[in-house]
Amino acid sequence: MIGWLGDGYLWVKAVHVIFVFFWIAGLFALPRYLIYMHATKPGSLEETQWTSRCNRLRNIILTPALIVSWVFGLSLAFNIGFSGNIWMHAKIGVVALLSIYHMWMVSLGKKMSRGQRPVAEKTLRFANEAPALATIAIVIFVIVRPF
């Protein structure tokens, strides 16, 4: 194929896309879990169960998928080069914002598992839409390459 990845390019691309699916799926689930946890009484058995679910989601799916997505995505980016690929800069920018969102959601989950409710449930419901909007932007940047 092209670049330093050679014949491995398509395999790297496939792994990248697979783990992006896992990451986005987890980002759709985590805010929903936090919405359900928000309604529970701090210290209750139900809150403990939601905390356990959030921790498993974070440790088994979200964080590993984030890491693999970034590693393989940057491999692809360096393989084709950044020069003249403004769409790639835009995509990486949106992915960076999505990574910050990921960290914010994880931080909220940890605070909520300690009995805190640092944001309103309505805020979580609005925040739940961020992965969808980011996914739309990323797909347009990669497929359409508007600039």
Between CA 75 and CA 72 the distance in angstroms is 5
Residue indicated by tokens 């590993």: 64
- Contacts (Cβ under 8 Å, ≥6 apart) of 140: 146
Q: If you ran DSSP here, which 8-state letter would residue 88 be given? A: H
Known binding-site residue numbers for heme: 16, 91
10 Å CB burial of residue 39 (0-12, 13-18, 19+) is exposed
Known binding-site residue numbers: 16, 91
